[in-house]
Structure 1
């Protein structure tokens, strides 16, 4: 319906009014365009937007819910509303605001009295919600400030509105563009884009947003802003000048090397640009600001995927409580001026037409054709960002009124005879929106509501290095510290194997000491076997250094000392193999060469000393140390190798020694060997090589606390391969096959071996 105001001289567009003890005003662009031109005539609006119509109903639903809530928010008082359609036009927004500021109890009164001296008439409207755009909100803010009426923006993000000296009565439930531009700059940095382009609209939103973004990007290293293209104010209007402008823009984007195009403009402009990009198959990366990132008009464009990837920014999203059910049922007895006008455009589908399959309910935004409406399909157009901000704005005003009137659940101490200035000073400022002299409006939370109120002026608090943000972004949570705990089943198994290995090694050492003069002990190197057992004991003990919380000490003794201990073990085996080779070498030249090499103490010293020469500089210059790797929700405690070159060199050296032993042992299998030393050493060395060949790729690819468990496992398997294959069979002979542990048994075995080969043997 239209309302006539004698002060303004002509009709104001679509309007809905409901009486109440306290009136809240609303200015919404239900239509997107107005036929304003230089030619005089009656103004009319076009481009009806279903989604924006629903946003007006959010305000009505929220007020209705407050009036009907039990217990009552404002006992004995009701809130009314006075909502106008601005058609996205600044002049109409100002006219609607002037209508809101008049004394509604005096319909024929004008805003400014003929004998105006000091102050305006106190308006019945105590607060205004809107406008949608930043440009419109700035115009409305300048007007409502005359009467100190609180204005709460639900979509206007322009930074200029945060300046309290300029806009003392403006508050909002959406963050300012200061935060959005910082987020866009961080996105550009995160993806390492080197060049970007900015397309901005010629209004306050585009002007301040693009300038701030350009300033941020200019301070970042290696990022080039190729160009800023400013769209004319009437870009969305269909005229030849704008067709030329669009063609120029498309050409500029096509020829540029920009890796991302940032569209800092309103929804209608973005739709035109994206449609043109689809037509030209202009596959680019686009960054959408909050004005069009969730636009159904843009997302439903045919072939939108042809335009490339779109990264969008949205404010905090949430579902308006009970609104979906309200929309589905609001045609059953609910009435308001905006709803009546909507039904004039989209009548309800009759049951008969639905049964015959004649209903056409596939509505789209900006639709003007008269067709039937299915209420359930209308609910699909409810957004969860702007609508929720409108809902919050109503709640803010209601809580401000409750605080100002000193209401409890049963009565209010004060009457509704208060001024707009009093509501501004003590209402919204109490508990929800805190206006400070710095021009900042802070995020806060109260006992009355279980939602985070996302309002502008304050930057988000950055969580500490050892914290992360909760999914709702309302608090910082401590990151969990991860390492290989002793109580984990895998660690318990490894620890049990380590303890068992230590026990068996000590038992073997006792047996080799008791039977140290027997042939079987001499066959494995005599005193060398005790040195070998000592090195294995050290390896089994070192396997425990990988569990528990890493420390600098545990990291230093782990792999470096294992490398030294295992080199000692292999050097003993190598000396033993040389001993066997000398004993059964009958060619004088080979025997003399072998005898020169057969210096067990020298072999052990040189072989182990070489590994020491690698590991000591490692420990002194680049020692392994406790470190931590930080993930989003956890901190991984682990050992840093210090130097991977020394680490690889240590492993490579041990692998080389194992390969030499394997070759010696494999060749020695042809010699008479009652105790199968050569065969068993071949198996143990082969196992060692296989374990560490598989260990390296697994270790490199694995991420997490089980990385250290793999190290411990590799050490245990390497140690058990020598203990089980080389030494355990000798202990079995000493305890259970004593008849083989004497000189005569060895002599007889050697004689038979060479007789089978046709070689005469003289024994003594």
Structure 2
């Protein structure tokens, strides 16, 4: 019926019906047809799709609910992304002219605006792969999409297109999550992962000692995951994140105000910023309004080379000195000429060129298409040219993202070349025709496989291949410095390849016109001599500096612990070094040693003098009456007691330690033995005067007296011999008493042996005291029992007080206490026993007669 109708009504009616049928076929699947005209389009045998954010802000949403919701036109045109789109156009033209790459096959392109929002990018991607809204222009469905610039949009695109096996090659999405080939098998990118960018910033923080840094990031996968990777890279290196603020474009004013307040109140002077340049500009303006100009910014690749920010003189006080990680720069031969030849006449009716012309020349192109309204500008006369124009669009001095886009097109072309089994004409096979398999044979799943295996050499002679969907990491480290014309320029000061970072520190200009590396720490590093002590409830980067304890040092800045000095060393006053300890002992040269030596020598002299007096008057009654033999033996033992105290003075040695304790024990036992025997003799004499006791003195004759003294002394000698043979005293370096000094002292060896020596002396002293106490009321002039009692009381009191004093005295003072006890007890014996006799001999010689002594005896009876 339709064929007959067409034949009947003639050729004119056929044309009308064809138009109506074409219109039906061109019907859009949504009402946002105004978005279909924003882009660049060229048909071909194989069409490459592109999603580029020519605009970065959608218009405000209509919330009146009086019309159907739809995507509105985007605003805020950007010249840089238009240069990226031209990189696709330029690369496609190069490939179409290349007889070796895709010979006999013509590439086309369909580039649409993503508006930096996922609804726009997703709509554009679905339209392109379905051949959708632009089927009226007879462009076929795209087989591969180059985009998106944002990580979040790329994640959405990859997840959406993965079931359809449509490859997505991003030129700027850096989220490390996109390296997961299981979740994003169709995703590729010509830019390194954020892992390497964050690693570069972590290296910079470690290099310059920034331990307290802040972070500001876009409120999406790009910003949040980049900061997360930075934290992972700095884990265990004492670098802490002071704060993390996010910026969402829909609530940018509130987020910027909050982030600025946080920056203002933080001690962090270094701020990491992972955001787009437009958002960063608003943050910088807010900081400038608050007069916060002393922060050092570390810029991510998203804005580290932003010409828009570099061209804002009012921001120079903040942006001068910015250090950033940038996508590596590479030239594209003849691309500058291509850009300057761009003209509306080559792309009639193109909305993007209309906006570029309005921005560049201040005139409006007359278009017959719908687009953003004109700004009441005069019409362009058509003679305008980009030759000699310097702006964001024509700037090819540092092609970074642009070069990534260029590489993405070539990687797609090589994948098509491999998939379609293309052969090229060569000189050796001139009869062989250039051809590729038909485009109907393109299988998207196979295209993904070939894209994974793409490997070619770029025009710069570099090898290109995909590694986990990305490319090997190569970054430039850039610094914003003053140019000769008073503007700011982006200067390369270093490079990072893989995990290796190199930077020329002397070439870096720091922020706020400082000529030194900024300091960004929560707490200043602890100086030598102190250690870090983390503040409770705060990050490890916030700490107090505590001085090292005595005997401990820290000889480096930022020590977390103090090291203990070796036993023979001690810390200096600054706690920064171990110095040899002073060796301390009771020497003959110090004041205490001289004093004790003088007292001991004086005791020896006094004892000798008493002995001389007794020897000279040995025939006098008072000497005879007091048992002259025992008296001389006692004086000899007292002299030995004084002399043995000198052995304790001086540097302890193996022999001095053994001699001093043995001499002390034996001489005092000898002394006490003489006193004990004298006391026993006195008691025996008085007891023999009683009836029936005349034979008592036979048992205490001179021989028995000498034998008793010898016996009592031999017991001590045996104790000392056993002690010295089993566990003798020895020199000991005591480092635990006084920190900065080593006390050189004699260690007693066997405590049991030392206790037996002292115990035996105490036993003899107690017996002497007891016997003398019983004989205290005997006649004074005849016996010395009363004086022996006094001497024994003094002796016992001295040695009872000696024990706690000796134990509690540190170092050489314990030796001094022992010497003092020896001297005090020796003087007590000498004075109490011999002073009264010497007084009678020297001062009252008239009483030194037998009659006087016998008279006293008779009165005593």
Separation (CA, whole Å) in 2 of partners of 1:297 and 1:343: 15
Separation (CA, whole Å) in 2 of partners of 1:232 and 1:471: 31
After TM superposition, the structure 1 = structure 2 runs for residues 18-33 of structure 1, keeping only pairs within 5 Å, are 18-33=42-57
Q: 2:410 aligns with which of 395, 414, 430?
A: 395
After TM superposition, the structure 1 = structure 2 runs for residues 434-453 of structure 1, keeping only pairs within 5 Å, are 446=457, 450-453=461-464
After TM superposition, the structure 1 = structure 2 runs for residues 92-491 of structure 1, keeping only pairs within 5 Å, are 92-103=120-131, 107=135, 124-221=141-238, 223-236=239-252, 242=253, 244-282=254-292, 283-307=294-318, 309-331=321-343, 334-335=346-347, 337=350, 340-342=353-355, 345=358, 370=377, 374-375=385-386, 376-377=388-389, 378=391, 380-382=394-396, 383-410=398-425, 411-432=434-455, 446=457, 450-453=461-464, 457=468
Separation (CA, whole Å) in 2 of partners of 1:414 and 1:252: 61
Offset at residue 298 of structure 1 (A)? 1.5
Deviations 1:152-194 (A, max 9, x none): 0000101111111211111010001011111111110000112
After TM superposition, the structure 1 = structure 2 runs for residues 10-89 of structure 1, keeping only pairs within 5 Å, are 10-13=32-35, 14-37=38-61, 39=63, 40=65, 43-69=72-98, 71-89=99-117
Offset at residue 431 of structure 1 (A)? 3.3
Separation (CA, whole Å) in 2 of partners of 1:105 and 1:10: 10
Offset at residue 138 of structure 1 (A)? 1.4
Secondary structure at 1:171 match in 2: strand
Change (3 A) 1:78 1:105: farther
Paired residues, number: 420
Deviations 1:667-696 (A, max 9, x none): xxxxxxxxxxxxxxxxxxxxxxxxxxxxxx
Offset at residue 251 of structure 1 (A)? 2.2
Offset at residue 369 of structure 1 (A)? 8.4
Offset at residue 61 of structure 1 (A)? 1.2
Deviations 1:511-542 (A, max 9, x none): xxxxxxxxxxxxxxxxxxxxxxxxxxxxxxxx
Offset at residue 108 of structure 1 (A)? 8.4
TM-score by length of 1: 0.50
Change (3 A) 1:456 1:303: farther
Separation (CA, whole Å) in 1 of partners of 2:186 and 2:402: 22
Matched, 1:9 2:35: no
After TM superposition, the structure 1 = structure 2 runs for residues 622-641 of structure 1, keeping only pairs within 5 Å, are none
Secondary structure at 2:451 match in 1: coil
Separation (CA, whole Å) in 2 of partners of 1:333 and 1:51: 21
After TM superposition, the structure 1 = structure 2 runs for residues 656-667 of structure 1, keeping only pairs within 5 Å, are none
Separation (CA, whole Å) in 1 of partners of 2:249 and 2:356: 32
Deviations 1:120-147 (A, max 9, x none): xx98311100011111111221222232
Q: Which moved more, 1:406-415 or 1:388-397?
A: 406-415
Separation (CA, whole Å) in 2 of partners of 1:123 and 1:398: 17
Secondary structure at 1:181 match in 2: helix
Secondary structure at 1:152 match in 2: strand
Change (3 A) 1:206 1:473: closer
Separation (CA, whole Å) in 2 of partners of 1:231 and 1:305: 22
Offset at residue 271 of structure 1 (A)? 1.2
Change (3 A) 1:30 1:4: farther
TM-score by length of 2: 0.45
Change (3 A) 1:33 1:471: closer
Separation (CA, whole Å) in 2 of partners of 1:105 and 1:45: 18
Cα pair 2:27 2:133 within 8 Å, conserved: no
After TM superposition, the structure 1 = structure 2 runs for residues 640-655 of structure 1, keeping only pairs within 5 Å, are none
Deviations 1:261-283 (A, max 9, x none): 00111221111112222333322
Cα pair 1:173 1:453 within 8 Å, conserved: no
Larger Rg: 2
Where structure 2 has 5 or more consecutive residues not aligned to the other structure, the ranges are: 1-24, 364-373, 426-433, 476-493, 501-861
Cα pair 1:133 1:155 within 8 Å, conserved: yes
Change (3 A) 1:386 1:106: closer
Cα pair 2:28 2:133 within 8 Å, conserved: no
Partner of 1:557: none
Separation (CA, whole Å) in 1 of partners of 2:231 and 2:337: 44
Cα pair 1:260 1:286 within 8 Å, conserved: yes
Cα pair 1:20 1:80 within 8 Å, conserved: yes
Partner of 1:713: none
Offset at residue 339 of structure 1 (A)? 5.2
Cα pair 2:218 2:246 within 8 Å, conserved: yes
Offset at residue 322 of structure 1 (A)? 1.5
After TM superposition, the structure 1 = structure 2 runs for residues 564-643 of structure 1, keeping only pairs within 5 Å, are none
Deviations 1:473-496 (A, max 9, x none): 6999xxxxxxxxxxxxxxxxxxxx
Separation (CA, whole Å) in 1 of partners of 2:443 and 2:34: 24
Offset at residue 55 of structure 1 (A)? 1.1
Cα pair 1:285 1:309 within 8 Å, conserved: yes
Separation (CA, whole Å) in 2 of partners of 1:408 and 1:311: 48
Cα pair 1:132 1:156 within 8 Å, conserved: yes
Change (3 A) 1:265 1:456: farther
Offset at residue 331 of structure 1 (A)? 2.0
Separation (CA, whole Å) in 2 of partners of 1:80 and 1:131: 19
Offset at residue 374 of structure 1 (A)? 4.6
Offset at residue 311 of structure 1 (A)? 0.7
Two-structure CA RMSD over aligned residues (Å): 3.5
Separation (CA, whole Å) in 2 of partners of 1:344 and 1:179: 39
Cα pair 1:128 1:151 within 8 Å, conserved: yes
Secondary structure at 1:27 match in 2: strand
After TM superposition, the structure 1 = structure 2 runs for residues 465-544 of structure 1, keeping only pairs within 5 Å, are none
Offset at residue 389 of structure 1 (A)? 0.3
Secondary structure at 1:417 match in 2: helix
Offset at residue 53 of structure 1 (A)? 1.3
Change (3 A) 1:196 1:145: same
Secondary structure at 2:295 match in 1: coil
Where structure 1 has 5 or more consecutive residues not aligned to the other structure, the ranges are: 110-121, 237-241, 351-366, 433-444, 463-469, 477-764
Cα pair 2:166 2:444 within 8 Å, conserved: yes
